[in-house]
């Protein structure tokens, strides 16, 4: 995960404010998408999860991390979201009170896929065997539970 995604490096002392603004934008965007207020045919009938909004320190730009339920192999949904970013800014203006609404850049959230890959890796026989063998040796010096291949 990048420093910006993990909340580190968010500027000078404004980290909590940026997180709060990002969370407010995430909530409002989720509401707009859930209500189906977008008239784009590529977004009709598509459920989109807004997982995170990362706001720049000057509050002028926001990266909106989304995950279309059912996937988006051709990138149609992501392109449609970015094409309608002006519409979303207009809708946000009535829901979020800010001096300047940030420009929105929609990005695919790959953290779900990474979590699924890690979970699948942890379920492989070799890793499961290593985890089971080393699970009870935390109080020892670590030499007894090591397997050598």
Domain CATH number, residue 75:
3.30.300.20
Rounded average pLDDT over 82-86: 94
Average pLDDT of span 26-45:
89
Place of tokens 């992501």: 78
The residue among 78, 20, 86, 21 whose CA lies nearest residue 48 is 78
Mean pLDDT (the chain) is 80
Instruction: Give the pLDDT of residue 65.
Output: 95
Confidence of residue 5 (pLDDT cuts 50, 70, 90): low
Q: What is the spatial order of strands in the sheet that 61-68 belongs to? A: 48-55, 61-68, 103-108
| Residue 137 resides in a domain | no
Domain count of the fold of the chain: 1
- Contact, 10 vs 19, CB < 8 A? yes
Cα gap 148→58, rounded to integer Å? 52
Q: Is the residue at 141 inside a domain? A: no
Does residue 94 lie in a domain region? Answer: yes
Percent of the chain whose predicted confidence (pLDDT) is above 70? 77
Domain of 30 in residue numbering reads as: 3-109
């Amino acid at each position: 995960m990048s420093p910006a995604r993990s909340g580190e490096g968010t500027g000078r002392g404004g980290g909590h404010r940026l997180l709060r603004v990002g969370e407010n934008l995430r909530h409002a965007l989720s509401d707009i998408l859930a209500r189906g207020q977008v008239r784009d045919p590529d977004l009709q009938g598509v459920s989109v999860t807004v997982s995170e909004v990362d706001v720049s320190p000057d509050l002028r730009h926001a990266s909106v991390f989304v995950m279309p339920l059912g996937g988006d192999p051709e990138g149609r949904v992501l392109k449609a979201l970015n094409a309608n970013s002006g519409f979303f800014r207009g809708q946000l203006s009535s829901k979020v009170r800010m001096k300047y609404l940030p420009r929105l850049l929609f990005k695919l959230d790959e953290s779900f896929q990474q979590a699924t890959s890690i979970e699948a890796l942890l379920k492989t026989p070799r890793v499961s065997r290593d985890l089971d063998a080393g699970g009870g040796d935390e109080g020892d010096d670590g030499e007894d539970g090591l397997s050598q291949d």
